[in-house]
Structure 1
Amino acid sequence: MIRVVVTGASGKMGREVVRAVTAEPDMTVVAAVDPLHAGEAVEGIRVTGDLRDAIEASSPDVLVDFTRPEAVAANVRAAASSGIDCVVGTTGVPIATFEEIAEGAPEGVCVFVAPNFAIGAVLMMRFAREAARYLPHVEIVELHHDRKADAPSGTAIRTAEGISQARTVVPAAPGRESEVADGARGAVVAGVTVHSVRLPGLVAHQEVIFGGPGQTLTIRHDSLDRTSFMPGVVMAIRAVRERSGLVVGLEEIL
C-alpha cells in the first residue's frame, strides 16, 4: 500500500484527493493536514495542523499538496527532506523553487509538479504546440473560479511556453499600443498574449485561439468538476515511486 499524506486536505481539491486515494486498492491516506481546520474530519480522517508531526506519526510514502503559493514550498521541503516523494498541484510558484528543493533532497526522492492534472488539459497543451508550428498568431483565454490564487494560471503559462518553443516566428500582437485601459490586451507570457477571467461558477477552463488568413482554430478544454483532476493525481502518486529528482508535467508520465 502507498501511504499518502494530503496537505490542504480541507480544501475543495484536498477533499477530492482524499476521496480518490481512499477509493484506490493500492493506496491509503494516512494523514490529512490543514492548519486552518485542525480537528475537523475529511472522509472520516481527522485533520491535523502540523505537517512535520503528521509525517513523524504516520510515516507516509508520498505527499500530495494542493494548498496555496505561500505554503507549498515549505510543505514540499519538509516532506522531501524526510525522504518522502511529492506530488504538487499548487501553482503560482517558480519552478526554480522546486528545483532547489529536489536538489537538496535525499537521493531517490521525486518532486513531481504539474500545472494541471486533467488528462484532457494535457492533450490540449500538446495540440496547441502542434498547431503553433503552422499558425503562429495565437492568444490564450483562461477562465477559473474567483478564489484562484494566481493569474495567469499555471496551465496558461505552461501552454504559452510550449507554444513559444514550437513556433518558428513570433508575430506582433497588435492593439497594445492603442489600449484605452491598461491591461485590456492581457499579459504577455513567453511572447503569447494571455487573458485571465475569474468568476464564481467556473472551475478550470482554457481556450487557445489561433488566427490565420481567413480562418481561426480554437482548442478548448473544460474541467466541469474537480473529479477531472483525480485520475492524473492517482497516476502521479504511483509514478513518483519509480522516479527521482524534479519531474514537471503530467505528460512526462502519460
Structure 2
Amino acid sequence: MTIRIAIAGARGRMGTAAVKALTEFEDMKVVAALDYKGEGLFVHGESLTDDANGIPVYTNFDLLANETKPDILLELTTPDTVYENMHRAITYGIRPVVGTSGLSIKQIEEITKFANDNQVGGIIAPNFSIGAVLMMKFAAMASRYLGDVEIIESHHDQKIDAPSGTATKTVDMIKEYRKSHIQGHPDEKEHLPGARGASIDGIRLHSVRLPGLLAHQEVLLGSTGELLTIRHDSFDRSCFMPGIVMAIRNVMERNELIYGLEHIIE
C-alpha cells in the first residue's frame, strides 16, 4: 500500500526537507501541496513553476481532497492556519500529522475530540526529533527526584511563537511526575518584568530567539548541592525526518488523535 500525502507548507524549509525525505520511501508518495498561492502551479523545492513534474499546488482544501485523495495531511504551516486545516482534513477522513506549534490547550482538546468522534487517527507533535522526545522523557523522569526545574529553549529568530511547543510539552510531561510547587524565594521580585521568564505550574520557561540557531532546549533540574542538565540540539532539519516518517506510518493504524511523539516511542 502506498501512503498518499498532502503537505501544507511544502515550500518552507521544513516542508522542502520533508518532500525530499518522503520521496525516498517506496510506500509513500507526496500527491499535493496546500498553499496560500500558486493554484495550478507545481512545487519544485522552494519554488513554484509550471513544470508538471512537480507537486501540484492547491489553495482550496476541498478541491485538493477530492482530486488527490490523500491519506495524510502533513501540516507544517503556521499557528494561524493549522487548526482550520486539521479540522478540514478530519472532515474528509484524512489523518493529520502536525508539526506546527502554537495551538492552545483548548484547541488541542477540541480537535482531539473531533478526531476521536470521527475515528480519524492523527498526531500533533511539538517536536519530530527522536532525540528531543527522549530529552523530554528523561527530564520528566528526573523531575520526580529533582523537582525544581527551569527550561531554556532557543530557536531561530523567525520563529513566531514563544515559548516553543517543545517547552510547553516538556512541562506537561514533567507535571505527571513532579509535585506542583512554586520555586525560588517566596519574596522574589522582578525588577525588570519578564526577567524570571514565564511560569507554568511553578516551572520557569525562558525563550531565546537569535539568528544562527535552529532548535535547542536544556532542562535544568536542581537540588541541594547538585544540578542535572539535560540538553538537546537540532543542527539540521534532517533530524526531524525519521520522526515524521514514524508518525505517518503509525497514524495509518490509529483511529484516534494523540498529542506527542513520545506515545509512539517505546
CA RMSD after TM alignment: 1.8
Are the equivalent residues in 1 in contact too, given 2:97–2:122 (CA < 8 A)?
yes
The yes-or-no answer on 1:80 pairing with 2:82 is no
The yes-or-no answer on 1:159 pairing with 2:175 is no
Among 86, 101, 126, the residue aligned to 2:111: 101
Summarize the Cα distance change of 1:210–1:15 in structure 2 as closer, same or farther, 3 Å threshold. Answer: same
| 49-58 vs 219-228, greater mean Cα deviation | 49-58
The answer for the alignment partner of 1:145 in structure 2 is: 156
Summarize the Cα distance change of 1:188–1:49 in structure 2 as closer, same or farther, 3 Å threshold. Answer: same
The answer for the alignment partner of 2:5 in structure 1 is: 4
TM-score by length of 1: 0.94
Are the equivalent residues in 2 in contact too, given 1:120–1:221 (CA < 8 A)?
yes
Summarize the Cα distance change of 1:222–1:98 in structure 2 as closer, same or farther, 3 Å threshold. Answer: same
Are the equivalent residues in 1 in contact too, given 2:10–2:43 (CA < 8 A)?
no
Which whole-Å CA distance do the structure 2 matches of 1:66 and 1:217 have between them? Answer: 33
The answer for the alignment partner of 1:15 in structure 2 is: 16
Map Cα deviations across residues 56-113 of structure 1 (whole Å, 9 max, x no partner).
1101011100111110011111111001111011111124324423433574311311
Are the equivalent residues in 1 in contact too, given 2:182–2:203 (CA < 8 A)?
no
Are the equivalent residues in 1 in contact too, given 2:182–2:201 (CA < 8 A)?
no
Map Cα deviations across residues 102-143 of structure 1 (whole Å, 9 max, x no partner).
433574311311111100011001110111111111100000
Which whole-Å CA distance do the structure 2 matches of 1:207 and 1:168 have between them? Answer: 20
Larger helix share, 1 or 2: 1
The answer for the alignment partner of 1:30 in structure 2 is: 31
Summarize the Cα distance change of 1:238–1:176 in structure 2 as closer, same or farther, 3 Å threshold. Answer: farther
The yes-or-no answer on 1:42 pairing with 2:44 is yes
Are the equivalent residues in 1 in contact too, given 2:130–2:243 (CA < 8 A)?
yes
Map Cα deviations across residues 143-194 of structure 1 (whole Å, 9 max, x no partner).
0111112100011001112222211352523498332210010000232100
Identity score, percent = 49
The yes-or-no answer on 1:197 pairing with 2:208 is yes
The answer for the alignment partner of 1:54 in structure 2 is: 64
Are the equivalent residues in 2 in contact too, given 1:124–1:220 (CA < 8 A)?
yes
**Equivalences, count:** 254
TM-score by length of 2: 0.90
| 211-220 vs 89-98, greater mean Cα deviation | 89-98
| 190-199 vs 51-60, greater mean Cα deviation | 51-60
| 103-112 vs 90-99, greater mean Cα deviation | 103-112
SS, match of residue 195 in structure 2: coil
Which whole-Å CA distance do the structure 2 matches of 1:145 and 1:114 have between them? Answer: 19
Query: Where do 5+ consecutive residues of structure 2 fail to align?
Result: 46-53
Are the equivalent residues in 2 in contact too, given 1:160–1:191 (CA < 8 A)?
no
SS, match of residue 210 in structure 1: strand
Deviation at 1:37, TM superposition (A): 5.0
| 173-182 vs 213-222, greater mean Cα deviation | 173-182
Are the equivalent residues in 2 in contact too, given 1:17–1:230 (CA < 8 A)?
yes
Which whole-Å CA distance do the structure 1 matches of 2:241 and 2:186 have between them? Answer: 40
Query: Where do 5+ consecutive residues of structure 1 fail to align?
Result: none
Deviation at 1:32, TM superposition (A): 1.1
Specify the code of the residue in structure 2 equivalent to 1:82: Y
The yes-or-no answer on 1:247 pairing with 2:249 is no
